[in-house]
Amino acid sequence: MRLKGKVAIVVGAGQTPGDSIGNGRAISILFAREGATVLLVDRNLESAQETQKMIQDEGGVCSVLQADVTIESDCRAIADTCMERYQRIDVLENVVGSGTGDRGPTSLTEEAWDFLMDINTKSVFFTCKYALPYMRQRKAGSIVNVTSGAAVGSVGYVGYKVAKAGANALTHSIAMSNARFGIRANVVMPGLLDTPMAMEGHSTARGVDKETLRRERDALVPLNSKQGTAWDTAYASLFLASDEAKFITGVVLPVDGGQSARIG
């Protein structure tokens, strides 16, 4: 019960359809198992409701809210709704992200660039903007933003990398400017994970079967030559969200089997 008595917002609590579990769903389930009341936010209401049923079937407490986090008014509504329903915000977890439309620097379109910045960076700014005043009132709170190892690694596409690096920098700024209010802000930076978004998306985009893709991705991971799963992201998020990390802020925590440590 590491989050007993706390209220957590998970933005991106649904998931892409697939044969494994996604980060947002795993985080939501784990937070509820650890005693949190969870507000499940997703653009896809049906997917968030699937997560809700899984939590409630285990006896957890949660509710759902449909929102598009690229729209500022929706992000204001996330914070306001949490306060209306539960009277507090202890944890804000941002999981939403996408690499759709990304290309190299000479072929990336303006529309794709804007989308990647909106979904991966601006959305984090918006949700934090409206949760922070409520956290400041209580002089407590934990923000955990899920980004990507692409922010620091060598990747072939430019938009997603820049957007996730921006989310890392945004988190650092929020951590430093809100430390005096007792608010912590940290990043979980996953590497290669066997999640529906990664596997279904890359399999479709490249036209390769998922087992071949799994073998290719596994071979790139130093630790046991095996990708991680959404549960690895979830347990890292749980630690940073909990009071066990009460003296940790401004951290970017790689959860990648050592991939980002491989230099040279």
Q: Own/partner pairs for 128-133, CB < 8 Å, 24+ apart?
A: 128/92, 128/94, 128/170, 128/174, 128/185, 129/72, 129/75, 130/75, 130/76, 130/78, 130/79, 130/80, 131/9, 131/78, 131/79, 131/82, 131/89, 131/92, 132/174, 132/178, 132/183, 133/79
In whole angstroms, give the CA distance from residue 227 to residue 247.
30
Amino acid present at 145: N
Q: Which of 86, 134, 157, 160 is catalytic?
A: 160
160 is annotated as an active-site residue: yes
Residue positions annotated with a catalytic role: 160
